[in-house]
Amino acid sequence: MSTAADIALEREGGALVARLRGEVDMTNASFVREELTSSVPNDAHALVIDLSGARYLDSAAIEVLFELSRRLGRRRQDLRLVVPATSPLRRLLTLTDVGAVATMHESLDEALGRR
Amino acid sequence: MKERRYDNELNTRLRQQAAVAELGHRALADAGVEDLMREAVRKVAAELRAPFVSLVEFSEARGGFVERASAGLPGSPDEPFVPRGADGQTGFTLGAGEPVIVDDLEEEGRFRPSRRLFALGARSSVSVPIGSRERRFGVLGASSRRAGDFSPDDANFLQGVANILAAAIERARSETRLLTEQRRLEEAFRHASEGEARFRELADSAPVLIWTADADGMIDFINRGWLEFTGRTVEEETGDTWVLGVHPDDSEGVGSSWWRAFRRRVPWEREYRLCRHDGEYRWIVGRGVPRFAEQVLVGWVGTATDIHERKQMEEKLARAAARDHEVAETLQRSLLPEKLPRIDGVQLEARYLPAAQGTRIGGDWYDALELEDGRVAVVVGDVVGHGLRAATVMGQLRNAFRAYALVETSPAATLARLNRLLSKEDRDVMATALYLIFDRDTGEVVFSSAGHPPALVVTRDGPRFLEGGRSVPLGTADPATYRDEAAVIESGSTMLLYTDGLVERRDTPLEDRLAQLATVAGVAGGDLSDVCDQVLQGILGGLRPSDDVALLAVRPEPVAPGGLLMCLPADPSALAQLRRRMGRFLQAAGASEQESFDIILTASEAAMNAIEHAYGPGDAEFELEAGAEGPVVTVTVRDSGSWRERRGTERGRGLSIIEGLMDEVEVTPGPRGTSIRMRRRLRGPSGAATDLARTGARTLRTQRA
């Protein structure tokens, strides 16, 4: 039995959208970090991580988000998270103050400014 | 017969091997030679399916053959007292010293076939010598009414039986020789009282090795037979240097046992290797007895007897018996289904009943394993046919299944791979299989069947078969399409997977047997083991089945809302399992999705501390206990380290997450480890709206030891 996550990448105008599905814990957090940091191109102005399909994140995953925001910040790129209002992840993200380094959106459209 | 045997060729060899091994065990268990000969004849008749079997002894004294045991042969043999070297098959076999196969007695040109066998209608025969080239005992033969009935393999089997007989006969004969020599020794004793000179005269003429020792244990006499055997002088053999001729590996034991007997003044006996004049070490048995004159020890007298042939036969026999037994055991063990693995959160019970007929090894198999994604895979299969071949294919299928199941997530895809494997080998083998994967958390089941009877699910509402997902058996078409079928199993249900031996019988339509299975399983109760027993009893009525039967019962364990106790390795890989088990527990306890997430997360964060505290890469473990009292869930994580925040700024969030999500947190550092206990009051799915009000009631207590 192991922890499994998969990431689907898609370019949406100036933003890179990463759909993260599954679970991220301390066993696969570094894999997720490498996957995300290496896939953001220089010319993108934002990385949007869609967590609609994410079932589980732990403190190691939260740390990945903080580190990503630091790296993106150095290139003046935004980090945006899509977290549906009903997602149990919201509590965790609020509690760990992820809002200080990333904006939270209820839908992908909202994150991409389509609304 | 060649055609008749073809299908079962390997099975036949296996049985023959088992028969030889069993005879060897009897021989070693010291069965009488007469009994052993009768048993050998019985076994040969059965294993070679030969109507006529004869065991004859060559009698030097009577100058011919005497029948000692036989099967299917009336009256006395027609070759008694025929001098060795004569023109019959028995004499020819003894002279040839190796197996003789006669495909057709009518066309035999090497010797004149037995008139008696001819009269009985025998057409082909096989015979082997009993005993080594140096010590021939007789001949063992079998005959059949059909021409060409015996293969070289049959001859090998017959020779195996003959070799065991030879060893047993040789041992019995050497026992007789020893008894005779013992009597001679006693005779010599009696004469010793008449005077030392008379004794020595007698001893020198005796055909055995004799020695005497004085009251101090020093050899003072060695007879001529001894000196001729060792080729040494009287001076070399007398005194205490006689042990020099003993084999280096035996000399210590010989010396110490002799001196022990000497001190206690009790008879001595020891088997050891003694160097003969030509440099060859021969096994002998040495014996010595104290001599007393009016209760005063006056010396010792002893003998040595060559038992080399007997010893070698025994060693060979023991080796052969051990090897045969081992082969048979290993085969059985490796071919029959293994013990099922223990999988958390699911009860598994299996039964395997070999067919009633003989020692047939079937191709039925079952297996269970936990997949990477946390689901549980169970499989039952049946390779068509019996014997070594079916069993070998079964073993390969089982191994391949274990490999494929880990990389394929769909039962149909796994079956397709197995089909490709079986078809590629181009070996005309067919197998059925039912492969089922189920999710312990959701009760979802996915299955696919390759011509295999359907699984039966017994729910609270009654039994039902998992229909659908059927395709052709493995090995019948390539490529073949296999289909997945999905179903949901109610919690607390039992699934039964089985092979067709349970439900197939010639006199009853399959539908009726399936209906009977459903009825029997539907009323079966008790634990899973009881269910298996009741199903087998109900279907087979306590009889051994006519075909192999494998039965695998699977019951996802209903999680008791009362509690959960897990002992997990202090390794990050344990976290996924922790989440699954906690998920089931919290679902049973009535937690909402948000509550489940929060509590699983905090339990994991506490576990991550325990994992990081574990020193070294050893076998450290931590314990997680979860319980619910009314709406309050308590989770306790105990480890063997001391509490401290995990290293590095990046992981400084663990405790703050725990504090933020639980109502009450208590950290207790102890001498043997730290425990962290967390509580949270559940509001259930409907209480989600008032969730935020709860935070005010939170307390945090950290005790210091």
The residue of chain A nearest to residue B601, with distances taken between CA atoms, is A58
Instruction: Looking at the structure, tell me whether residues B573 and B462 fall in a common domain.
Output: no
In the structure, what pLDDT confidence band is assigned to residue B6 with cuts at 50, 70 and 90?
very low
Instruction: Looking at the structure, tell me whether residues B254 and B371 fall in a common domain.
Output: no
Instruction: Looking at the structure, tell me whether residues B84 and B134 fall in a common domain.
Output: yes
* B111 or B322, which is more confident: B111
Domain containing A24 equals 5-111
The residue of chain A nearest to residue B580, with distances taken between CA atoms, is A1
Rounded CA separation A85/B5 (Å): 74
B704 pLDDT above the threshold of 50: no
Instruction: Looking at the structure, tell me whether residues B487 and B413 fall in a common domain.
Output: yes
> To probe the interface with A, which of B407, B442, B597 has the most A CB atoms within 10 Å?
B597
Within-domain flag for B323: no
* Residue B547, min C-alpha distance to chain A (Å): 37
* Residue B437, min C-alpha distance to chain A (Å): 14
Within-domain flag for B326: no
B159 pLDDT above the threshold of 70: yes
Q: Where are the beta strands (DSSP E) in B499-658?
A: 549-556, 563-569, 621-629, 632-638
Mean pLDDT of B520-547: 86
A72 pLDDT above the threshold of 90: yes
Rounded CA separation B587/B525 (Å): 26
Residues with Cβ < 8 Å from B536, sequence gap 6 or more? B351, B353, B502, B549, B551
Domain boundary among B492, B521, B556: B556
pLDDT at B320: 63
> To probe the interface with B, which of A59, A83, A90 has the most B CB atoms within 10 Å?
A59
Instruction: Looking at the structure, tell me whether residues B198 and B276 fall in a common domain.
Output: yes
Contact criterion met (CB < 8 Å) for B650 and A89: no
In the structure, what pLDDT confidence band is assigned to residue A59 with cuts at 50, 70 and 90?
very high
User: What is the token pair recorded at B516?
Assistant: 């009977």
Instruction: Looking at the structure, tell me whether residues B570 and B487 fall in a common domain.
Output: no
pLDDT at B678: 94
B361 pLDDT above the threshold of 70: no
Q: How far apart are the first and last CA of chain B?
A: 85
pLDDT at B687: 44
In the structure, what pLDDT confidence band is assigned to residue B445 with cuts at 50, 70 and 90?
very high
Mean pLDDT of A53-73: 93
Question: DSSP class of residue B640?
Answer: S
* Candidate from B374, B604, B650 with C-beta closest to A58: B604
What pLDDT digit, counting tens, does each position of B46-57 carry?
A: 989 999 999 988
* B440 or B528, which is more confident: B528
pLDDT at B358: 44
B585 pLDDT above the threshold of 60: yes
B700 pLDDT above the threshold of 50: no
* Residue A60, min C-alpha distance to chain B (Å): 7
User: What is the token pair recorded at B265?
Assistant: 């003044």
Among chain A, residues having any CB pair with chain B shorter than 8 Å are: 1-4, 23, 25-27, 56, 58-60, 62-63, 66-67, 88-89, 91-92, 95-96
Window from A76-85, B50-59, B225-234, B539-548 with minimum mean pLDDT: B539-548
Neighbours of B25 (CB within 10 A): 16
- Supply the CATH number for residue B8's domain: 3.30.450.40
Mean pLDDT of B546-551: 83
Question: DSSP class of residue B326?
Answer: H
> To probe the interface with A, which of B376, B599, B601 has the most A CB atoms within 10 Å?
B601
Instruction: Looking at the structure, tell me whether residues B279 and B356 fall in a common domain.
Output: no
Give whichever of B329-333, B385-389, B522-526 has the largest mean pLDDT: B522-526
In the structure, what pLDDT confidence band is assigned to residue B359 with cuts at 50, 70 and 90?
very low
Vertex A27: Cα angle to A21 and A31 (nearest 5): 60
pLDDT at A99: 92
What percent of chain A stands above pLDDT 70? 97
Contact criterion met (CB < 8 Å) for B372 and A27: no
What pLDDT digit, counting tens, does each position of B621-674 carry?
A: 888 999 888 889 999 998 876 545 555 544 467 888 998 999 999 988 777 778
Instruction: Looking at the structure, tell me whether residues B153 and B213 fall in a common domain.
Output: no
* Candidate from B580, B605, B660 with C-beta closest to A58: B605
pLDDT at A111: 93
Nearest to A54 by CA among A115, A14, A8: A8
User: What is the token pair recorded at B325?
Assistant: 């037994």
In the structure, what pLDDT confidence band is assigned to residue B356 with cuts at 50, 70 and 90?
low
Phi-psi region of B385 (alpha: psi -120 to 50; beta: other; left: phi over 0): left
Contact criterion met (CB < 8 Å) for A88 and B573: no
CA B422 to chain CA centroid, Å, is: 27
* A69 or B295, which is more confident: A69
Contact criterion met (CB < 8 Å) for B576 and A63: no
Domain containing B579 equals 563-702
Rounded CA separation B253/B370 (Å): 56
On the question of a cis peptide bond just before residue B561, with omega within 30 degrees of 0, the verdict is: no
Contact criterion met (CB < 8 Å) for B661 and A91: yes
- Please report which residue ranges of B29-134 form alpha helices under DSSP H: 33-47, 89-96, 115-120
Q: How far is CA B328 from CA B7, B8, B315, B335, B588, in A?
A: 20, 17, 20, 11, 49
What pLDDT digit, counting tens, does each position of B479-491 carry?
A: 889 999 999 888 7
Q: How many domains does chain B have?
A: 4
Residue pairs spanning A and B at CB distance below 8 A: 75
H or E element: which one contains A67? helix A59-74
Domain boundary among B489, B524, B556: B556
Give CB contacts under 8 A, 24+ apart, made by B258-266: B258/B217, B258/B288, B259/B217, B261/B288, B262/B217, B262/B300, B265/B290, B265/B297, B266/B290
Within-domain flag for B327: no
Instruction: Looking at the structure, tell me whether residues B420 and B539 fall in a common domain.
Output: yes
Question: DSSP class of residue B442?
Answer: T
pLDDT at B160: 86
* Candidate from B576, B593, B600 with C-beta closest to A1: B576
Residue where the block lists tokens 């010595």: B288
Instruction: Looking at the structure, tell me whether residues B532 and B590 fall in a common domain.
Output: no
Domain boundary among B510, B530, B556: B556
Within-domain flag for B73: yes
Residues with Cβ < 8 Å from B576, sequence gap 6 or more? A1, A2, A3, A23, A25, A27, B374
In the structure, what pLDDT confidence band is assigned to residue B15 with cuts at 50, 70 and 90?
confident
Nearest to B135 by CA among B62, B228, B66, B57: B57
* Residue A77, min C-alpha distance to chain B (Å): 22
* Average pLDDT taken over every residue of chain B: 80
Rounded CA separation A79/B282 (Å): 90
Instruction: Looking at the structure, tell me whether residues B588 and B697 fall in a common domain.
Output: yes
* Residue B574, min C-alpha distance to chain A (Å): 8
Identify the bridge partners of residue B623 per DSSP, sorted by sequence position. Answer: B567, B638
CA B373 to chain CA centroid, Å, is: 34
Give whichever of B132-141, B153-162, B308-317, B337-346 has the largest mean pLDDT: B153-162
Identify the bridge partners of residue B437 per DSSP, sorted by sequence position. Answer: B377, B446
* Cβ contact B655:A95 at 8 Å: no
Q: How many domains does chain A have?
A: 1
- Supply the CATH number for residue A79's domain: 3.30.750.24
B407 pLDDT above the threshold of 80: yes
Instruction: Looking at the structure, tell me whether residues B283 and B343 fall in a common domain.
Output: no
B436 pLDDT above the threshold of 50: yes
What pLDDT digit, counting tens, does each position of B250-278 carry?
A: 988 888 898 888 888 888 888 899 999 89
The residue of chain A nearest to residue B597, with distances taken between CA atoms, is A88
What pLDDT digit, counting tens, does each position of B164-180 carry?
A: 888 888 778 777 776 67
A contacts of B600 (beta carbons < 8 Å): 56
Please tell me the pTM assigned to this model.
0.44
Rounded CA separation B294/B645 (Å): 92
HSE-up (13 A, CA, CB side) for residue B162: 30
